[in-house]
Structure formats: structure tokens, C-alpha cells
Amino acid sequence: MRFAVVRSSAPGCEPSCPEWISAEGAIEAGTPAQLKRILKKLGRRKLPIIVNSPGGNVDAALQIGRIIRKNKLDIAVGTTKFSDCWPGMKDCRANDGKGAAYFGIASDGGAMCNSACPLMLAGGVGRVVGGWAHLGVHQITTTHFRTKRQYRTTYRVVRGKKYKITTETVTQDNVGYKTYEMSKALERRLSAYLREMGVGRGVLDRMKATPASDIRQISLADMLTMKLVTSRDSLDILTLAGICRRSPAPRNCREIPANAKPAKVAAIEAKAGPSQPAQVPLSQPAKA
């Protein structure tokens, strides 16, 4: 997952505009550490998270949810369309002197929060999923890692006594497997987490009832019933340019003067890797 701090590029927004943390991509084992780094750089600023994710690592999603709740952040499902410069773009100087590294517009059109992502979403204090966004769940895929090794040991007999000379691996095979049904232990963990976040059990029931090979979209009405979202609003309540004209202005609004220096916080991006469905890895090495 890639995190970036973005300032609204909506016309007429300046000098006071909303800012947010764009979170895009699969949730991986290192994603919680990435989020912690960007929050540390932001200091006391409390920016909402706009997430667009196909899912990924369940344990990481739970950690992220708790980080979000601990920092009292809001979250919405949406995508960010960057203006001029975007994360990963080299030598872009278009935003120099504008007071922010990245500018863009947030939208829920085509945005998704699937698989393990709703567990991350549950951590938000305020949680919104607009009418054009998709939120879906399914069973958890648990990957068991087992390695079967065969060894060859060389001995030498000296005066009737056997001494071991070398031991080497002859073959090493991966005999791991995957399960597609939630274990009782994992169900208890997820149930306790959702209770902790104030979300109803209905989310977990939908997960259990949907095969891992499928995605079941949850309607906004059902999300409200399950308390997975806190209102019928969309991400506009967090990112629309006009919110900064209120008095008092929301905490994610920032006024910057002309010819300002670039923001210190820009983007934190994970190394490229394949997107994964919701998974819980279990490491179980074995010898044979």
C-alpha cells in the first residue's frame, strides 16, 4: 500500500484547503509500519484517510485499524486523482512553491474496499462509504507454510567408532496448503476486534457466508445497520473544498501563504508486490 499526503486542487480552494492521506493498494505485512511513519511525520495533525484497496493481509488490517482508532482518525473509501505530480514521479517540480508536495481531487467513483480492507475501515472514528464506492467481504484464506526436507549424513568409522562428518540437504519441498474456511480461533479474534471498534457482528456473518473465491458487496443500508459506517455521507464531508469555509474549519484544513515551502511529508510507498486476497499466514516448518 502507498500512502501520500494530498491537498485539494479544487478551483477556488486556496488559501485554505482540505488535506488527506491517500491510501492505495494491497494491505501487506509492512503496511502498518508505513502508516506509523507518515503519522509520525504529521505530528499532531489529524488527517482523514481516503482508502482504495482490494484487501490483503488480515493481521496487518487489524493493526492498521487499531492505529487509526488510537490516533482518532476518520476514514472514507475513495480514490485520489493527482494533479501535475504524483507519488513515484521523478523530478517533478510543478508543485514547488505551492506549500504541498501533492495536489488532487478525491472521488468515490469506482473506489473499492474489499476483503480485509473493511477491517481497516472499522478502525475509523468516522467511517463513510459513498454511493459510488464498493465494499465487499468474503471468507478468509489461511496459508499454511510447511517445508519437507530430506538430509544425507556422511559418517566415518574409526577403530570401531562412528563419527559424523557432514550433513547436507538432499531435497527440500514445499508441502504447504491453504484453507478457505475461518477457524474458530480466528473467528473469535475478528469478533473481539469488531466489538472493540463498535461494529456489529453482521459483518463477520457476511464474511463467513461468502466463499473465498467470491466477493459479496454490502449495501449502504446494511452497513448502517451493522454500524460499519457512521453516516450516509460520502468522502465529500472530508475532502470537499467548501468545508474549509466553515467556522470553525475542520481539523484537516490548512491555510498556506503564497510562495510557501514544499511540505515535509510527501509519500511512503511499499515495494511493489502482488495483490492478495484476505489471508492469514501461518508458519509451520517441518523436517522429514
Min mean pLDDT across 87-96, 199-208, 218-227 is at 87-96
All three cell numbers of 109: 467513483
* pLDDT tens profile 36-58: 999 999 999 999 999 999 999 99
- Go through the domains of the chain in sequence order and give each one's CATH number: 2-139+175-277 (3.90.226.10)
* pLDDT tens profile 75-127: 999 999 999 999 989 889 898 888 999 999 999 999 999 999 999 999 999 99
Asked if 133 and 272 touch (Cβ cutoff 8 Å), the reply is: no
pLDDT of residue 273: 42
User: What is the residue type of 44?
Assistant: R
Flag whether pLDDT at 201 surpasses 70: yes
pLDDT of residue 283: 41
Under 8 Å CB-to-CB from 35, ≥6 apart: which residues? Answer: 3, 23, 64, 67, 68
Q: Calculate the average pLDDT of the chain.
A: 87
The DSSP-derived string for 75-106 is EEE-EEEEES--TT-TT--TTTTBT-S-EEEE
**3-state DSSP call for residue 9?**
coil
Which is nearest to 81 in space by CA: 39, 16, 22?
A: 22
Distances (CA, A) of 27 to 6, 23, 59, 202, 222: 20, 10, 10, 23, 24
Q: What is the pTM of this model?
A: 0.81
